[in-house]
Amino acid sequence: MHTQKWLMLWINLLGGAAVLGSYIQGLRSHAGAGQALWGGVPESVRTFYTAGMFVAATGYFAFTYFLLFRLDAGAARICDRFGFGLFNALYVAILVPSALWMPLTFQALQRSSLGWLWLVRIVLAAVACASLGLLLALLRVEPRQPQWAHGAAVLGCVGFCIQTGVLDAIVWTMLFRV
């Protein structure tokens, strides 16, 4: 396996563990955490939002599969300028702030602080921007073989971007109150 792909695998293992670990720690250490994290998001939106989370997770696996197992890391070029390493940078830019979201949200809730809430909004905006960057990179990467895997990766990334860019960075931040 190419060195950049090994790095991607480690980024996903460590970053994924950090994200999941922050969620587990947050939910275990805060009574009623699940309800509190919804803030002012109405029940009618939560059902759609929860379905979006499953679509985003499936999408994450689709584009990660393409990048790890189908794209030739040595030959990959994005906009005739960047190599495979750009994908690794984008994964870090998605996973690090994602691991910070829940701890920062609990700080905002505990302190009833708009300052902390703005940090949460910045973190969600960073994830949204990195997700959009990943989508753009997938759209511009060459080679795109096999086409079915590339198509699934792009489609999956669109679902991921809807979750991170629309539902998290816009809808949740507009409705969430401390």
* pLDDT of 154 higher than 80: yes
The CA distance from 127 to 64, in Å, is 16
Report the predicted TM-score, pTM, of the whole model to 2 decimal places: 0.95
The Cβ of residue 155 has, within 10 Å, a number of other Cβ atoms equal to: 15
In this prediction, residue 31 carries a pLDDT of 83
* pLDDT of 178 higher than 80: no
* Percent of residues, the chain, with pLDDT higher than 90: 83
* 108 Cβ neighbours under 8 A, 6+ residues apart: 116, 117, 119, 120, 178
Mean pLDDT within 59-88: 97
In this prediction, residue 85 carries a pLDDT of 98
Closest CA to 103 of 27, 43, 158, 26: 26
Domain boundaries, the chain: 3-7+44-175
pLDDT band at 45 (very low <50, low <70, confident <90, very high): confident
pLDDT band at 34 (very low <50, low <70, confident <90, very high): confident
147: buried, middle or exposed (CB in 10 Å: 19+, 13-18, 0-12)?
exposed
pLDDT band at 63 (very low <50, low <70, confident <90, very high): very high
The CA distance from 146 to 91, in Å, is 22
The CA distance from 105 to 102, in Å, is 5
* pLDDT of 1 higher than 90: no
What DSSP string runs through the chain?
--HHHHHHHHHHHHHHHHHHHHHHHHHHHSTTHHHHHHTT--HHHHHHHHHHHHHHHHHHHHHHHIIIIIS-TTT-EETTTB-THHHHHHHHHHHHHHHHHHHHHHHHHHHT-HHHHHHHHHHHHHHHHHHHHHHHHHHHEE---SHHHHHHHHHHHHHHHIIIIIIIIIIIHHH---
Q: What is the pLDDT of residues 116-140, one digit of tens each?
A: 999 999 999 999 999 999 999 999 9
In this prediction, residue 81 carries a pLDDT of 95
Write phi, then psi, for 155 (nearest 5 degrees).
Answer: -60, -45
pLDDT band at 33 (very low <50, low <70, confident <90, very high): confident
Mean pLDDT within 11-21: 98
